[in-house]
Amino acid sequence: MRLVTTILAALSMLLFIGVLFFYVRSYSYYEGNVHYSGGGQARATLTVKGQRGEGDIAGRITGLLSHRGAFTYASIAVPTEEPAWQSWSHPIDQPLKPGAMSLMFPAIGSGFGYGKGEAHVADKDLAWELPYWNVTIPYWLPTILLAIGPWRWFSNYRLALQREKEGKCVRCGKDLRGVTGKCPKCGEPVPDPD
């Protein structure tokens, strides 16, 4: 059982380090990993030279976005087909590139949230109002949750070392001076005195 706990604590620690890395990085870079898929219908509004019209759109871009201390899972209806998968890591202080990057930017939330709305995308004489939805989680939440496992493992490890040093059972803390075999309280094997 201790081996399983140690492996889970180590895995949690690796994930903690990864999430912490992206948390810090999110303040310098706007990152995304999105996928285009056809199918499904969404109602969108198009304005061309002042003339407004509505129509159905059959495409959608869905994916994970990271920006300013939060990550967002978002989906936005799109009028054109994009490459199947697209990823980017773009400095925050530079203008966004056209395509999926600029289309997905309005769908980014901050803090906790679930939302939907319309992204307004303008290009020369065209202006699209594209429906989207998003779910946003601040990075601090998984960072704290992933730190709990390694912290508990380290605390239990220190406690077991302290108990062993004091001649107590490493599992339950019962005084084992003069006891051989197993702990009478919890059954933990008693190490032989050297």
| Ordered per-residue pLDDT tens for the chain, 194 residues | 678 989 999 999 999 999 999 999 999 999 999 998 877 677 777 777 777 888 788 888 899 999 999 999 998 888 777 678 889 999 999 998 887 888 788 788 777 777 677 777 666 667 778 888 889 999 999 999 999 999 999 999 999 899 888 888 888 888 888 888 888 888 888 877 65
Cβ pair 111, 70 in contact under 8 A? yes
Task: Report d(CA 137, CA 139) in Å as an integer.
Answer: 6
Q: What is the 3-state secondary structure (H, E, C) of the chain?
A: CHHHHHHHHHHHHHHHHHHHHHHHHCCCEEEEEEEEEEEEEEEEEEEECCEEEEEEEEEEEEEEEEECCEEEEEEEEECCCCCCEEEEEEECCCCCCCCHHHHHHHHCCCCCEEEEEEEEEEECCEEEEEEEEEEEEECHHHHHHHHHHHHHHHHHHHHHHHHHHCCECCCCCCECCCCCCECCCCCCECCCCC
pTM: 0.73
Which pLDDT value is given to residue 66? 94
Which pLDDT value is given to residue 106? 79
Start-to-end CA span in the chain (Å): 26
Q: Which residues contact residue 115 at a Cβ distance below 8 angstroms, ignoring those fewer than 6 apart?
A: 109, 133, 134, 136
Which residues pair with residue 61 across a beta bridge?
A: 36, 76
Task: Report d(CA 115, CA 104) in Å as an integer.
Answer: 14
How many residues are listed for the chain in this entry?
194
